[in-house]
């Protein structure tokens, strides 16, 4: 390679596309189907066409001096039609328009001291950029950052931002992997968002799609037939070709795309969509190459977070690459969501059929964190992830899939009463796995999150009809007239209804306060802040769940009562008969400060902890220490549909852990009081 070519390559941000280099732009494209390729420079007074030089292996390229950032261009194939650049950095006129030259390396970053956030400290907040603020842009998300930080969020997770067809889209129909959407503000605005997030102490995780590409605006077939393969299929179209003829360039595109977001946009991690539909029979597997490349970009001093979504619950995802795994830090663990959803709603259709709706199943999911599957009448699988830390699982009560893939886009709090939702939220946020909140759940947003698209009419019609056919097997939509009520993804009203009303943060301040308080407990409490603290879960009966978390000198108990009023007898793991035993109520969901929308008007709380012998009540919110008897027992009075968080030890007054106590079974450590009488 000539010395001048070395100077050009030193400035290359990616191996293909339009790279701003010294004194001009180097254009390059992989087009093995073409005999001749030219770059069309779009000027105000016309088009300048320059022939590219063959560079071998289907590559064409040319250094063009005098061209700078902002120039628009297309590639013309064999003197015929012109197409956007498959590696475009920006599509200012949409997916069918010309590409624009962007020097992504020129952004003035101010986050030089930022080193990322450890997985154990992550609290994820999933957002769709187009619907989470009134303006629907990256800059709009910047305005949310202070409030998210104060809520207790430590990282925002963005649904895909790669350029998509039309004015709005979930992002999973993207066709230009390197181009942040013009509708959100483009690449510079995305860089501003990440820089601002780091200024507020927040990480940014980006959802990326490497299993398929959208159908509209997908011109890859004009360049090569090898981008996709018919040997594998996904529910959304042809699979990307990672192991067939020409796969080397496809692998290069995906690997470089992952590095691109980390290096030039400073994102702190990636969430890979539906990796169970990524097929690769070659070695090393493309997923292992992606994670290895990402960690090489980050280096030893920068913490990144790599997460995989997989229906298969394959433990290889978390296994280090050196041990034959794929090297991810965590997976999206759907079992917790599904088990809780069936418990609270009673829904048993679709993939919910595998879950029996019992607290016993919820307790098993919490202890094992990820199961191979749950079937009616019991649990299958033996906790394949038991050897991995809790922070290897991302759990949720809501996410874009579980809400948006419902026919009417209902959120969980639309389906259950506010008290039950508060109990579930308390349970969810104080478990050691990584919690993911879906935008608006912290203030019980009234807006649904519906499936919306803005395709051209002929494709849009197929999307609408296909969406309604999906639900034909569900009882509620078996009748065609019922299916006609499913919102049309192509209708503007469907998109607008999905936009958050941020004024509801004030209207629903009680729930927002509950979420903020729970997240403060998670971050600051001596036990809850340690993801490695001991964990045990027991279903006391059909409606009451007991969770214990403990460290050497402290214990916490969560009692989640989804049913009628009851009493629960409680002992401590930190039993030490010659010292007093103290329990403190840290939080109860029926406190007046957490008043939820449409909550009852009574100002009184009947909840408290009483000593076994003295029967001394401790009112809610006083933080009063309870003097327990030498037996170390107490009775917790639980009102209907209430969760209580109790402390013993540091911040709670208890003595040392008794190490002989068994982790499972917990006889006498938490059970309905009447059973002990």
- Residues tagged active-site: 273, 309
Could you tell me if 548 and 557 are in contact, meaning their C-beta atoms sit under 8 angstroms apart? yes
Question: If we measure between CA atoms, which residue out of 109, 59, 115 comes closest to residue 86?
Answer: 59
Label residues 602-619 b or e (16+ Cβ within 10 Å = b): eeeeebbbbbbeeeeebe
Task: Name residues whose C-beta falls within 8 Å of residue 199's C-beta, 6 or more positions apart in sequence.
Answer: 110, 111
CA torsion, points 197, 148, 524, 627, in degrees to nearest 10?
A: 180
Q: Residue 35 is encoded by which pair of tokens? A: 């005999």
Question: What value does the CA radius of gyration of the chain take, rounded to a whole number of Å?
Answer: 27
Q: Region of 396 please: left (phi>0), alpha (psi -120 to 50) or beta.
A: beta
Give the C-alpha separation, 59 to 393, whole Å.
Answer: 42
CA torsion, points 587, 564, 358, 426, in degrees to nearest 10?
A: -10
Could you tell me if 117 and 304 are in contact, meaning their C-beta atoms sit under 8 angstroms apart? no
Task: Name residues whose C-beta falls within 8 Å of residue 538's C-beta, 6 or more positions apart in sequence.
Answer: 363, 545, 546, 666, 669, 670
Type and span of the H or E element at 193: helix 186-199
> What is the C-alpha end-to-end distance of the chain, expressed in Å?
86
Give the C-alpha separation, 233 to 231, whole Å.
Answer: 7
Task: Name residues whose C-beta falls within 8 Å of residue 539's C-beta, 6 or more positions apart in sequence.
Answer: 358, 359, 360, 362, 363, 545, 546
């Amino acid at each position: 390679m000539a010395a001048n070519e070395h100077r050009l390559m030193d400035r290359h941000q990616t191996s293909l596309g339009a790279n701003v280099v010294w004194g001009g732009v180097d254009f390059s494209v992989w087009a093995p189907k073409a005999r001749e390729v030219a770059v069309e420079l779009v000027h105000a007074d016309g088009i300048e066409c320059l022939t590219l030089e063959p560079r071998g292996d289907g590559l064409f390229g040319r250094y063009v001096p005098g061209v700078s950032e902002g120039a628009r261009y297309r590639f013309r194939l064999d003197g015929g039609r012109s197409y956007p650049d498959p590696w475009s950095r920006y599509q200012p006129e949409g997916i069918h328009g010309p590409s624009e030259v962007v020097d992504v390396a020129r952004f003035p970053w101010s986050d030089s001291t930022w080193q990322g956030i450890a997985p154990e400290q992550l609290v994820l907040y999933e957002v769709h950029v187009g619907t989470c603020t009134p303006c629907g842009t990256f800059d709009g998300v910047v305005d949310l950052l202070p409030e998210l930080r104060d809520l207790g969020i430590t990282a925002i997770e963005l649904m895909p931002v790669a350029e998509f067809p039309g004015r709005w889209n979930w992002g999973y129909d993207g066709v230009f992997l390197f181009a942040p959407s013009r509708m959100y503000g483009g690449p510079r605005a995305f860089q501003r968002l990440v820089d601002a997030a780091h200024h507020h102490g927040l990480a940014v995780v980006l959802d990326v799609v490497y299993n398929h590409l959208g159908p509209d605006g997908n011109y890859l077939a004009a360049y090569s037939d090898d981008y996709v393969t018919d040997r594998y299929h996904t529910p959304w179209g042809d699979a990307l070709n990672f192991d067939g003829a020409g796969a080397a360039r496809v692998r290069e595109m995906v690997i470089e795309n992952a590095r691109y977001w980390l290096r030039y946009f400073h994102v702190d991690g990636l969430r890979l969509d539906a990796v169970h539909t990524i097929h690769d029979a070659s070695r090393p597997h493309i997923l292992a190459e992606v994670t290895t490349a990402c960690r090489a970009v980050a280096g030893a001093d920068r913490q990144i977070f790599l997460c995989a979504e997989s229906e298969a619950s394959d433990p290889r995802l978390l296994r280090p690459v050196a041990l034959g795994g794929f090297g991810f830090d965590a997976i999206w663990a759907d079992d917790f969501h599904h088990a809780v959803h069936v418990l609270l709603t009673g829904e048993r259709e679709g993939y919910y059929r595998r879950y029996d709706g019992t607290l016993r199943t919820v307790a098993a999911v919490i202890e094992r964190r990820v199961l191979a599957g749950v079937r009616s009448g019991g649990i299958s699988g033996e906790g394949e992830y038991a050897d991995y830390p809790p922070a290897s699982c991302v759990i949720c009560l809501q996410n874009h899939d579980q809400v948006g893939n419902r026919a009417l886009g209902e959120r969980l709090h639309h389906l259950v009463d506010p008290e039950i939702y508060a109990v579930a939220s308390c349970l969810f946020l104080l478990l050691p796995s990584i919690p993911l909140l879906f935008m608006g759940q912290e203030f019980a947003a009234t807006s649904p999150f519906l499936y919306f698209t803005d395709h051209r009419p002929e494709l849009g019609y197929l999307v609408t009809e296909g969406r309604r056919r999906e639900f034909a097997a569900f009882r509620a939509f078996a009748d065609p007239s019922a299916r006609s009520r499913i919102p049309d993804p192509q209708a503007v009203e469907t998109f607008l209804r999905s936009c958050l009303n941020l004024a509801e943060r004030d209207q629903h301040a009680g729930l927002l306060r509950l979420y903020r308080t729970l997240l403060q407990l998670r971050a600051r409490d001596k036990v809850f802040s340690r993801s490695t603290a001991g964990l045990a879960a027991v279903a006391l009966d059909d409606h009451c769940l007991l969770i214990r978390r403990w460290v050497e000198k402290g214990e916490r108990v969560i009692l989640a009562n989804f049913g009628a009023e009851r009493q629960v007898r409680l002992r401590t793991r930190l039993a030490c008969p010659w010292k007093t035993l103290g329990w403190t109520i840290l939080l109860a969901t029926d406190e007046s400060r957490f008043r939820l929308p449409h909550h009852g008007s009574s100002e009184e709380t009947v909840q408290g902890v009483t000593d076994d012998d003295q029967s001394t009540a401790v009112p809610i919110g006083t933080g009063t220490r309870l003097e327990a008897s030498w037996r170390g027992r107490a009775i917790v009075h639980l009102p209907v549909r209430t969760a209580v968080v109790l402390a013993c030890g540091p911040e709670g007054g208890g003595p040392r852990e008794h190490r002989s106590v068994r982790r499972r079974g917990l006889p006498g450590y938490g059970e309905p009081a009447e059973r002990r009488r």
